[in-house]
Chains A and B, each alone.
Chain A
């Protein structure tokens, strides 16, 4: 299923992720097969297949417009798609969207929002306190109106929102975009902690290669509807990055499963 750009069968480098038993490999947490996604009339993801194992931290990278956020939306079942997206039955998803400006007029505090989710999911009343304590959310932050939160506080609030209900998978869109370095560092640590302590599986979209190197054990590159996946140390060579961000067209010289290769070749003829 996996397609590796940088040759060779995948020696999956743990790189920060929880070590996995071989059993887990046979029963992936997420299995995506021949996925096609469009944004408007433009097909952004073509024939994508990959698996995610429990405990993986998969970084989704690629140039702007490559379909990273669209892919997350499809994985969350927020938009229609063609192909197959199969989550293992015990997967519980948490989602941290890209930071958007909150409507300053909304009379909602961080606590109002978290309480609304906790109550809707009928979580025990201690759950909100637990998550707040884990993330170090001060009462002062909780009682602040969401329109008045700083970028970092807002991000923390979104993470707390995602963690309510004990998800075992976190889908994270641009965790450090528009944050200062100190807050960035905090988010890295948080991700690391979620992986190590909670054994969470993480899918993150990021432009930030340092977060990819430090946290991800797998990298999924998206570019112009073409894809590849592999461990960061193998995949993220300078030459690769040059290809990915500068001239993604050369991307297809190396693919690896004969059956899939011939299918892709056929698809390419149609273009």
Chain B
């Protein structure tokens, strides 16, 4: 059990790095809230998995990626605004999730739990998180260009539509790993808070990423420890999310324009 907790903690630290990076891009694309909503797409899958006694993360992954793909298609094919496309899929997913999730498992689906983690689960999670970190690093210039202007990015040679899909997938993958610690409701807290914190403190791109990653890492590390030693809740998610909010309030003191 202690070793499991150790593995979980290590995975959570790596997850925090990925969440901090993905959050920066989502912040610049002005889709932080949209991202929050995307994380809820895992709900119907988690609910169904509980009902059919399958690994809830597998179920969550299935509906998360299906939902993400539907959103991407919907806005590409119909020209619907991203916000509207996400709204439609989100509302439907939440309703299905609420309907199919067994009542006993509802809290766990929404807020996550500190379950045991198998070595395979640990390695899979680690691989996913490292893929996200590596991809954001490789795509950072293309992402900056397309966030500034899709036309200028396209004339520079960036495939903007494909880049959008890549980013949605990276976002979903990050949320998926976060589900284990944070649950569907809080999975995106670490995507939203650290980037907003970083933006208060800098207006340059490299420090923005760096501060966001550090804020995310500190929230997770301190949140885990505080929960294990002091609060002893069944899940560290709320403690982590609250800590990241506290960091954000401190950042207001050091605000740059």
A residues apposed to B, CB below 8 Å: 73, 76-78, 93-95, 97, 100, 102-103, 105-109, 112-113, 115-117, 119-121, 143, 145-148, 161, 165
How far in angstroms is the closest Cβ of chain A from B237? Answer: 28
Q: How far is the CA of A117 from the CA of B145 in the complex (A)?
A: 7
B155 and A95 contact, CB distance less than 8 A: yes
B residues apposed to A, CB below 8 Å: 28, 30, 140-142, 144-145, 147-149, 151-152, 154-158, 198-199, 202-206, 208, 257
Q: How far is the CA of A161 from the CA of B155 in the complex (A)?
A: 11
How far in angstroms is the closest Cβ of chain A from B33? Answer: 14
A116 surroundings in chain B (CB, below 8 A): 140-142, 144-145
A97 and B152 contact, CB distance less than 8 A: yes
B204 and A106 contact, CB distance less than 8 A: no
The A interface, classified by DSSP as helix, strand, loop or mixed, is: mixed
Q: Can you list the 3 inter-chain pairs with the closest CB atoms, starting with the nearest?
A: A116-B141, A107-B208, A145-B203
B157 and A121 contact, CB distance less than 8 A: yes
- Which of B30, B144, B151, B203 is most buried by chain A, counting CB atoms within 10 A of its CB? B203
How far in angstroms is the closest Cβ of chain B from A95? Answer: 5
A112 surroundings in chain B (CB, below 8 A): 144, 204-206
Cross-chain contact of B202 among A76, A103, A107 (Cβ < 8 A): A107
How far in angstroms is the closest Cβ of chain B from A217? Answer: 24
Known contacts: A107-B202, A109-B203. The answer to whether A97 contacts B208 by CB under 8 A is no
Q: How far is the CA of A73 from the CA of B140 in the complex (A)?
A: 25
B158 and A120 contact, CB distance less than 8 A: yes
How far in angstroms is the closest Cβ of chain A from B37? Answer: 20
How far in angstroms is the closest Cβ of chain B from A80? Answer: 13
